[in-house]
Amino acid sequence: MPRPPDSYSELEVSELYCAKCKRATPVRQRLLLILPSGNKYDYTCSVCGSSVGSKMDDDTSAFTILPPK
Ligand SMILES: [Zn+2]
C-alpha cells in the first residue's frame, strides 16, 4: 500500500484559522515546552496575537537526560 512521503506529516503550519479575526491568518510558531516525549509548540495569530493552536512533535533531540551518578 503506497504511503505519502514522510515530509507530508511534517508540513510547517503557516496559516491557521483565527476565531478572533474570523479568517485564516499567518501564524507565529513558538516553542512552548521541551519534554522528554517531544516538544510542544504554540501557534499565535500574527494579526491579533491570540493563541490559535498548539502542536506536539516527537523530536527528543533537544532534550538531554543527564546520566545518573
Ligand atoms: Zn487573529
Nearest to 46 by CA among 31, 63, 27: 27
Distance 49 CA to ligand 1 centre (A): 6
Residue-level pLDDT at 39: 87
Distance 58 CA to ligand 1 centre (A): 28
Beta bridge partner(s), residue 54:
42
The full set of domains in the chain, from first to last, is 12-57 (2.20.25)
Residue 11 and residue 55: Cα distance in Å, rounded?
12
Per-residue tens of pLDDT for the chain, all 69 residues: 666 555 444 556 689 999 999 999 999 989 898 888 888 989 999 999 999 988 888 776 755 666 777
How many CB atoms are located within 10 Å of the residue 67 CB?
Answer: 5
Distance 48 CA to ligand 1 centre (A): 4
In the block, which residue shows the cell 514522510? 6
Distance 14 CA to ligand 1 centre (A): 13
Question: What's this model's pTM, rounded to 2 decimal places?
Answer: 0.62
Residue-level pLDDT at 37: 84
How many CB atoms are located within 10 Å of the residue 65 CB?
Answer: 7
Residue-level pLDDT at 51: 93
Residue type, 69: K
